[in-house]
Homo-oligomer: A and B are copies of this chain.
Amino acid sequence: MSTVHVRVYVTPKRGILDPQGVTIERALPALGFDGVSGVRVGKFIELDVAVDGGSPEVVRAEVDEMCRKLLANPIIEDFTFEVDA
């Protein structure tokens, strides 16, 4: 059975506090990196999905549902994903 590779990007929604991003932004100047702003930390998830004769549209719909149900928290996070051809 063939699989397609999927990359999912999960990011905190605008306006939602991102403690990891704040921590990184505060730590950078102490390491000699000035002028960095807007740090936001999200998740980068890679997975392989079996296609089993399904069309790319079917795979995309399945991944979208996975993101809504498990990979992201749609209340506080946005997500996008790419499905390899």
A interface with B by C-beta (< 8 Å): 1, 3, 9-11, 21, 24-25, 27-28, 31, 33-50, 52, 62, 65-66, 69-71
Contact of A40 among B38, B47, B66, B69 (CB under 8 A): B47
A65 to chain B, nearest CB (A): 8
Contact A36 B44 (CB under 8 A): no
Count copies of this chain in the complex. 2
Contact A38 B47 (CB under 8 A): yes
Known: A28-B70, A43-B43, A66-B28. A50 touches B36 (CB 8 A): yes
Known: A27-B70, A28-B66, A70-B27. A35 touches B47 (CB 8 A): no
Contact A45 B40 (CB under 8 A): yes
Inter-chain contacts of A25 with B (CB < 8 A) = 47
